[in-house]
Amino acid sequence: MSSLDTLFTDLRARKKKAFLPFVTAGDPDMDTTAALVQALAECGASGCEIGVPYSDPIADGPVIQASYQRALDNGFHLSNLFDLGKKVTPTIKMPLITMVSYSIIHRTGMQRYVDSAIQAGYCGAIVPDLLVEEAKPLADICRKADFSLIQLVTPTTPRDRQVRIAELSSGFLYFVSVTGITGERSTMADGLLDNVGWLRERTSLPICIGFGVSNAETAATLAPVADGVIVGSAIVRRVGAAVDRASAVADVTAFAKEIIKAIA
């Protein structure tokens, strides 16, 4: 079992929901990213997604796009991601997941990327641009290594395709709450809860909902049907607006505590 399997088994036994925050590696620098991850672990986050900066946006809205560009402008390199994992994972209990473009994995080499991530302490990867038709080679490598491969299901994904994606995923399924790009929203799409409920009947994988979860009220609405909620842009925006590292950590921690309380 991967660390994510253990996490969700424990959460389900205790009838708890996962809070999975997202932070961009290297925004504005790697020391700030490390401080944020440490603080999120200490305040009760279930796990943390670490976004790997990439110059060609996949489904990222302007807030996360800007954070990626800041990190790249400051010299982010993939080796920094692995150095971060080696630095923080010995001091925290929550699992860390990379969110990474398949082009980066392909360029690095699938086996090499997975091996490097595991050695750095990461337990899985969310790969938003990996087509289900091309997923099996990476899925096989990940399963052999107990490294979770998390894939996305969207509101427009045909239902037979949703099932195929679930079959080639592990750890959890990332259910995109809206059609479009990442970003904070005040309302969720019509039919979201029904769509998640339909998929839940067809897979044993935990289902976590992301894209658009901007506040505690939205998180509380999603918690009854989801195994976890994912919050990205609302956190990244706070980091980008902070005047220094200490204020970024303080603001993100306070916000995280609101989400955790809302889904308890």
Rg (CA), the chain: 17
What is the set of active-site residues? 49, 60
Written as one string, the DSSP assignment of 147-182 is -EEE-EE-TTS-HHHHHHHHHT--S-EEEE-SSS--
* 110-141 exposure pattern, b = at least 16 Cβ within 10 A, e = fewer: beebbebbbebbbbbbbbbbbebeebeebbeb
